[in-house]
């Protein structure tokens, strides 16, 4: 299959999804969310595929959201947005096949959040992680939900409230990353892990993922109910205008 914003390659029972917007640092747009979900559907229906690798083309894994591509002037648009965003997160978690994130560079905002939905995270020593949504009047809802459980309240609070950047080693220290490897050895190491995973028992792998991700549906329902109100705020409108005008936003808390 061909997609607008990602590449999908299948070889030797391993599927590799590559974010393919290097000129935009692989920033997430509505098309990225839709393409990722469609690729996961294709993989889910392909019985020959046993393991999935998620990575980025160029210098970034994904450097956040392409703010200029989103519009929230109506509540319904906020609802459509959060549904579009949440779908691939949940798909990664409910996919009955292991998913490895190969973080090759900048993983900001969406880039950090999507790794939390993957089963294993291997990072290049050049990788950097950050949640910067607060600087644009928004909250990293998917990251907060998963990060609280995976990283702990103190760590995710610090990341979300300050927008601080973590190196690959710092991310490993707080549990965001499983292993850090030299940049030029990243895909070699990831393929080694994938080769081992594809020999595992499929039903057992499926059940492991079900146990680990059992709260996803409850979290999704709560997210859809809450987030559109924030998207309709004046602060979010100001953040989008500031992004388009290449200036710092001036928030008023309404």
Q: For 149-200, how does the pLDDT look when each residue is reduced to its tens digit (9 = 90+)?
A: 899 999 999 999 999 999 999 999 999 999 999 999 999 999 999 999 999 9
Greater model confidence, 166 or 70: 166
Give the residue extent of every domain in the chain. 6-197
Q: What angle do CA 140, 213, 177 make, to 5 degrees?
A: 60
- pTM here is 0.87
CB 103 within 8 A of CB 125: no
What is the structure's pLDDT at 142?
Answer: 80
Q: In the CATH hierarchy, which fold is given to the domain comprising 6-197?
A: 2-enoyl-CoA Hydratase; Chain A, domain 1 (3.90.226)
Q: What is the pLDDT of residues 2-47, one digit of tens each?
A: 899 999 999 999 999 999 999 999 999 989 999 999 999 999 999 9
CA distance 172 to 226: 31
Whether the per-residue pLDDT at 78 is higher than 70: the answer is: no
């Amino acid at each position: 299959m061909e997609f607008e914003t990602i590449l999908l390659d299948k070889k030797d029972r391993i599927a590799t999804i590559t974010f393919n917007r290097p000129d935009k640092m692989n920033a997430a747009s509505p098309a990225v969310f839709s393409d990722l979900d469609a690729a996961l559907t294709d993989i889910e229906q392909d019985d020959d595929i046993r393991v999935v690798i998620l990575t980025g083309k160029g210098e970034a894994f994904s450097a956040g959201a392409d703010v200029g591509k989103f519009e929230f002037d109506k509540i319904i648009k906020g609802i459509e947005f959060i549904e579009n965003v949440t779908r691939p997160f949940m798909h990664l978690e409910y996919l009955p096949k292991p998913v490895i994130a190969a973080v090759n560079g900048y993983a900001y905002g969406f880039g950090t959040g999507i790794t939390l939905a993957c089963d294993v995270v291997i990072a290049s020593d050049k990788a950097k992680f950050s949640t910067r949504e607060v600087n644009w009047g928004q909250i990293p809802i998917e990251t907060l939900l998963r990060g609280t459980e995976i990283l702990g309240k103190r760590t995710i609070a610090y990341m979300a409230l300050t927008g601080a950047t973590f190196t690959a080693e710092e991310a490993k220290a707080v549990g965001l990353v499983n292993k850090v490897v030299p940049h030029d050895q990243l895909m070699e190491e990831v393929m080694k892990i994938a080769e081992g995973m594809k020999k595992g028992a499929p039903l057992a792998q499926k059940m492991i993922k079900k146990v680990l991700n059992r709260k996803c549906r409850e979290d999704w329902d709560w997210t859809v109910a809450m987030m559109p109100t924030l998207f309709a705020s004046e602060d979010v409108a100001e953040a989008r205008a500031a992004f388009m005008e290449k200036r710092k936003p001036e928030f008023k808390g309404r």
